Amino acid sequence: MFDETEVTIISAANEEFVPHLATLFLSLLQTKKRDTILNFYVIDDHIALVSKEKLNRMINEYDATISYLQIDTVEFDDMVESDRIPTTAYFRIAIPNFLKSTDIKRAIYLDCDIIALQPIEDIWAVDLGDKLLAAVEDAGFHQRLDAMEIDAKSNTYFNSGVMIIDIDKWRAEKISEQVLAFASKNQEELKFHDQDALNAILHDRWLILHPKWNAQAYILLDEKEHPTKIGKMEYDEARSDPALVHYSGHVKPWCKESTHPYRENYLTLREQTPFPIE
List all residues 6 or more positions away from 1 whose beta carbon is below 8 Å from its beta carbon. Answer: 105
Strand boundaries in the chain, DSSP class E: 6-14, 37-45, 64-69, 106-110, 114-116, 133-137, 158-166, 206-208, 244-246
What's the average model confidence in pLDDT over 61-81? 76
Q: Which of 27-36, 101-110, 123-132 has the lowest mean pLDDT?
A: 101-110
> What pLDDT does residue 249 have?
87
* Any domain includes 18: yes
pLDDT band (50, 70, 90) for residue 98:
confident
Mode of pairing for the β-strands spanning 106-110 and 158-166: antiparallel
CA Rg, the chain, in Å? 18
Residues 235-260: pLDDT tens digits? Answer: 999 999 999 999 998 899 999 999 99
Residues counted in the chain: 278
Q: Is residue 121 part of a domain?
A: yes
Sheet containing strand 106-110, edge to edge, reads: 64-69, 37-45, 6-14, 106-110, 158-166, 133-137, 206-208
- What is the C-alpha separation between 34 and 269, in angstroms, rounded? 19
Question: What gap in Å lies between CA 18 and CA 90, rounded to an integer?
Answer: 17
**H or E element: which one contains 202?**
helix 193-202
Count of Cβ atoms closer than 10 Å to residue 233 Cβ? 11
The amino acid at 47: I
Q: Report how far Cα 169 is from the mean position of its chain's Cα atoms.
A: 19
How does DSSP classify residue 254?
T
Contact 193, 144 (CB under 8 A): no
CATH of the domain at 160: 3.90.550.10
User: Structural domain tally of the chain?
Assistant: 1
Within-domain flag for 277 = no
pTM as predicted = 0.93
Q: How far apart are CA 245 and CA 115, in angstroms?
A: 5
The answer to the question of residue 124 being in a domain is yes
Q: How many CA atoms lie within 13 A of 51 on its CB side?
A: 19
Domain assignment present for residue 62? The answer is yes
| Local structure of residue 215 (DSSP, 8 states) | B
Q: Is residue 276 part of a domain?
A: no
Q: Kindly report the average pLDDT of the chain as a whole number.
A: 90
Bridge-based pairing of strands 133-137 and 64-69 is unpaired
> What is the rounded end-to-end Cα distance, in angstroms, of the chain?
45
Residue 113 falls inside a structural domain: yes
Q: Give residue 246's domain range.
A: 6-271
The residue among 215, 221, 180, 218 whose CA lies nearest residue 201 is 180
State the average pLDDT over residues 127-137: 96
